[in-house]
Amino acid sequence: MPRFLHTADWQMGRSFSRFDADDGAALAEARYAAIEALAQLAVDQDCDAVLVAGDVFDAQTVSDRTIRRVFNATSAFKGPWVMLPGNHDAALAESVWTRAGRLGAVPDNVHLALEPGVTVLAEQRLAILAAPLTQRHTYSDLTAAFDEWETPAGLLRIGLAHGSIQGVLPDEVDATNPIAPDRTQLAGLDYLALGDWHGTKQINERTWYSGTPEPERFRNNDAGYVLVVDLAEPGALPDVHRHDTARYRWYQWRETLSVPSDLDQLIARMQELPEASVLDLRLEGAITLEGHQHLNHGLSLAEARFRSVSCDRSGLQLEPTEEDIAALHADGYLGEAIEELRLRQGGDVSGPARDALAILASLLSSGTQEVTK
């Protein structure tokens, strides 16, 4: 029974410039590890082939070193690979693919589907109908050609394409590179392996997006997996299994803090996350001085555990309680300054006023602790 691994959207050479240099480098390196992991998975699962449905590279301008490292990362699986150009690495007249050829970087077992057509893997009983993108954006369905292409009898008809299934994905996603939702029926495909949507998604019983094997953005769409597909014979329904390949998991939380228990629950949730986490927080609402110190402590612990933590507090109002102020033992001028900062938080300078109040409270709290030791 033929079995193949379906993956896509590696985006190799992607830059993570929004992160600190160490974190960005680690996130980039994890993408090479993901290729190595899926290659080993193909070995462990006795796959007959690996199909890559576009966007192997993030851009045409990736370095020669990146090109060589990508193909080196596939070395564990010695069977056939079929790689399809996507919108990020379209098969232009001069492209990352032609450069890979000149470098001699493409192994003999890697088939580059740079032109529309059928790649026949007779030994594996697979006929791969490929619709490569030859420019970044198209407005016609390149998979329509599948309907007319003939394949050898007895081989599975597997479509390989990169684009947007019409009427299924969000409207802003399916504007270009369209693919008909019933292409498997129209073309008599046993399976349609898709790339472009970075999460694992089933369109129908024969059509799947595999998603990217290593998440690279804050979108909750089931990224970080590859698919292993079994097909007993032409016409049989595929048996699809999802396998986790992600090193890092990305979380984007938008939280409103109203009462102390909201903060307690937030910190408890952070503590439950795995160490290989990339966390992006945006906080709104109000917090006391004591809560502010509690939040700082929780974030400090998270920063030490996770790959990356960022926290936007621009929408978070600092509202000291009477107990907070009394605990600071701030009399005279300092007391007046704290009261002024409290009043100014509601104006246009709420951000600076909040920050100044937090800093002053922290300094006073530290000084009080020193005195009481």
pLDDT at 167: 82
In whole angstroms, give the CA distance from residue 353 to residue 334. 14
Q: What is the DSSP string of 33-88?
A: HHHHHHHHHHHHTT-SEEEE-S-SBS-TT--HHHHHHHHHHTTT--S-EEE---ST
Contact 82/113 with Cβ under 8 angstroms? yes
For the chain, what percentages of helix, strand and coil (3-state, to nearest 5) are there?
35, 25, 40
Q: Where are the domains of the chain?
A: 3-244, 249-372
In whole angstroms, give the CA distance from residue 91 to residue 73. 22
> What is the sign, positive or negative, of the torsion defined by CA atoms of 74, 77, 131, 92?
positive
pLDDT at 347: 46
pLDDT at 358: 63
pLDDT at 345: 56
- Written as one letter, the residue type at 248 is Y
- At the top level of CATH, which class does the domain 3-244 belong to? alpha beta
pLDDT at 343: 65
In whole angstroms, give the CA distance from residue 305 to residue 250. 14
66 contacts: CB under 8 Å, gap ≥ 6: 12, 13, 57
The three-class DSSP label of residue 160 is: strand
Beta partners for 286?
317
Contact 77/42 with Cβ under 8 angstroms? yes
In whole angstroms, give the CA distance from residue 166 to residue 175. 8
pLDDT tens for each residue of the chain, 373 residues long:
899 999 999 999 999 999 999 999 999 999 999 999 999 999 999 999 999 999 999 999 999 999 999 999 999 999 999 999 999 999 999 999 999 999 999 999 999 999 999 999 999 999 999 999 999 889 899 999 999 999 999 999 999 999 999 888 765 555 689 999 999 999 999 999 999 999 999 999 999 999 999 999 988 789 999 999 999 999 999 999 999 999 999 999 999 999 999 999 999 999 999 999 999 999 999 888 889 889 999 999 999 999 999 999 989 887 777 676 666 555 555 566 666 666 665 544 346 766 666 666 655 555 444 433 3
How is residue 310 written in tokens?
A: 């960022």
Residue 259, CA distances (Å) to 9, 124, 266 in order: 42, 61, 12
Read off the pTM. 0.86
Own/partner pairs, 140-147, CB within 8 angstroms, 24+ separation? 140/178, 141/178, 141/179, 141/180, 141/183, 142/116, 142/177, 142/179, 143/179, 143/180, 143/183, 143/187, 143/192, 144/180, 144/183, 144/186, 145/116, 146/183, 146/186, 146/187, 146/189, 147/186, 147/187
In whole angstroms, give the CA distance from residue 210 to residue 212. 7
In whole angstroms, give the CA distance from residue 214 to residue 110. 21
How is residue 161 written in tokens?
A: 């394409």
In whole angstroms, give the CA distance from residue 98 to residue 325. 68
Residue 209, CA distances (Å) to 221, 263, 294, 327, 373 in order: 11, 37, 42, 57, 61
